[in-house]
Structure 1
Amino acid sequence: MITEAVREVREFSRRAGIDKKRILVLFSGGKDSSLTLYLLRKAGLNVSALTFFHRWSWEEPLRWAMGFTQELGVEHYLVDITDGLLREVTGRKGPVCINCKKVMLWNAKWFALNNGFDVLAKGDNANDKVIGALLDQCEGDIRLCGLPRMGIPFFRPLIKYTAEEIEALAEEAGIRPYRMYEHSRRRQWREGCPLQYIDREEIVTPALMDLTYQVNVEVSGLARKRRIRMSVRVPSFEVMCWGCDGEILREVREIISKFGGNEGEASARKT
């Protein structure tokens, strides 16, 4: 499968005229963006990686991502978006992710244009395709979108692959990103950053962002040790877990109590 995927990327790039262009991959260190970077590199394209982080980002996946690009021999840029994220989210209601993606997208555009890149690449797959989304408003093959509004085309080499196919491709390529054992929104590994667990409709403040990070760093340590998937919403302290038992829930409630959460009132959603 992986050999065929590399061949398809190489042939499509030639047909689309981007095989000689400088391509910048928006690289989170997750499975989709890692596979995108891997395929483009193996296809012989001129590719670099761009990773955004902020002071609430997971540290371990960032270190893994840096090691991955080093192994591939790919130039890797790291950009701190803490200040821009604070300006965008402070005083607004959650979820933070919508505004964070906006910050990253526009920073990626200007970083690419100011540093001589011709194309931005993303790890979107077939399960991410939402009708009406910005990148689906493109003519022709949806793998390459030339968007006048952005001023730079987007290349999505995985957009026709399902999440299950990507799992198989990544496994064949030996791509195993570092996991924080987050609960996530689906059973597939869709990890992000701790700030996604700020309660909806909550007014976002730097103190709330700090608390959400601190709680979930400790909870992820327990989840990794127990090999289950778990996260905690803040400030409600709702426990979300795939595979929890009573003993694990008691342990997580002990963690919550250290941060001012009421052990007796903290709700648990076992899924």
Structure 2
Amino acid sequence: MPALEDAIEEIKNFSEKAGLLDKRILVMFSGGKDSSLALYLLKEAGLDVSALTFFHRWSWRETLRWAMGFTKKLNLNHFLVDITDGLLREAAGRKGPICINCKKVMLWNAKWFALNNGFDVLAKGDNANDKIIGALLDQCKTDVRLCEVPKIGIPTLRPLIKYTAEQVEALADEAGIRPYRMYEHARRRQWREGCPLQYIDREEIVTPELMDLAYKVNYEISKIARERKVRVSVRVPGFEVMCWNCDNETIDEIRRVTEKLR
């Protein structure tokens, strides 16, 4: 496992070779462990870095507050952008999963926010487990940590792309980075939380009412999950319960709550 000090030194060396020391870098910062570590490493490496967080009407307010506190401790500029209207335009009336539409809105907004506010580089918290052959950023002809793909329109830095999810976890723990958890089930075993809209049933036509329901149900369920230290989410409108390590008592409580919310 790489040590935190070594990871910081590696970013310093790479940044010097890549000409990043005099560049303004904007990090797409969700408040999760990956983007938090990316922001931390770039700051500790002495780079000119700021954070950009997107939120919408259905975002978890708890994680947003944690993210704001994190950047305050690092003494960094932190920009917050509400993408509710753009998300509704892209997602409403279409079938899920909604995450595809949301990522499109965020990347488009991040690009133009960066370009319009004098940033030279856009950074993301992708790790080696996120690297998919054939994806846009993996068409880089040079070092995959810094891509200049014309279609994106701004150089994209991925400081964690050579670290596995396990290594990112260890580095974040060493740095004392402990993001606020909603105890979502998520789509993988790793702590990969997002927002409640990912739990809209795949073949459903997305509507604002269904988005409201996904938030309301999963917010109430998160209280049970946090108390019992299990990971739970509920798909809507089918109300399928997804849980890691739930016992029968927890399942019964979840079902009582969801019955009231139907």
Instruction: Tell me which interval the TM-score lies in, with the shorter structure as reference length.
Output: over 0.9
Aligned mates of 1:206, 1:214 — CA distance in 2: 12
Instruction: Return the offset for 1:147.
Output: 1.3
Secondary structure at 1:231 match in 2: strand
1:99 equivalenced with 2:101 (yes/no): yes
1:234 equivalenced with 2:236 (yes/no): yes
After superposition, the C-alpha distances for 1:135-176 in whole angstroms (9 at most, x for unaligned) are 101111100000111210000000000000001000000000
After superposition, the C-alpha distances for 1:233-265 in whole angstroms (9 at most, x for unaligned) are 0000000000111110110001111122xxxxx
Aligned residue type for 2:147? C
Aligned mates of 2:141, 2:51 — CA distance in 1: 26
- Equivalent position of 2:199 in the other structure: 197
1:182 equivalenced with 2:180 (yes/no): no
Instruction: Return the offset for 1:187.
Output: 1.3
1:157 equivalenced with 2:162 (yes/no): no
Q: What is the percentage of aligned positions where both structures have the same residue?
A: 74
Aligned mates of 1:6, 1:136 — CA distance in 2: 23
Aligned mates of 2:206, 2:188 — CA distance in 1: 24
Instruction: Return the offset for 1:18.
Output: 1.1
Q: 1:25 aligns with which of 20, 24, 27?
A: 27
Instruction: Return the offset for 1:118.
Output: 0.2
- Equivalent position of 2:128 in the other structure: 126
Aligned mates of 1:150, 1:188 — CA distance in 2: 28
1:85 equivalenced with 2:117 (yes/no): no
1:173 equivalenced with 2:137 (yes/no): no
Secondary structure at 1:181 match in 2: coil
- Equivalent position of 1:220 in the other structure: 222
Aligned mates of 1:187, 1:151 — CA distance in 2: 34
- Equivalent position of 1:140 in the other structure: 142
Aligned residue type for 1:188? Q
TM-score normalised by structure 1 residue count: 0.95
Secondary structure at 1:201 match in 2: coil
Aligned mates of 1:40, 1:164 — CA distance in 2: 20
Aligned residue type for 2:26? L
TM-score normalised by structure 2 residue count: 0.99
- Equivalent position of 2:119 in the other structure: 117
After TM superposition, list the pairs within 5 Å mapping 1:68-83 onto structure 2: 68-83=70-85
Instruction: Return the offset for 1:19.
Output: 1.2
Secondary structure at 2:6 match in 1: helix
Secondary structure at 1:48 match in 2: strand
Q: Please, which runs of 5 or more residues in structure 2 have no aligned partner?
A: none
- Equivalent position of 1:36 in the other structure: 38
Aligned residue type for 1:74? L
Question: Runs of at least 4 residues of structure 1 off by over 2 A?
Answer: none
- Equivalent position of 2:66 in the other structure: 64
After TM superposition, list the pairs within 5 Å mapping 1:8-19 onto structure 2: 8-19=10-21
Q: Please, which runs of 5 or more residues in structure 1 have no aligned partner?
A: 261-271
Q: RMSD of aligned C-alpha atoms?
A: 0.5
Q: Which moved further from structure 2: 142-151 or 28-37?
A: 142-151
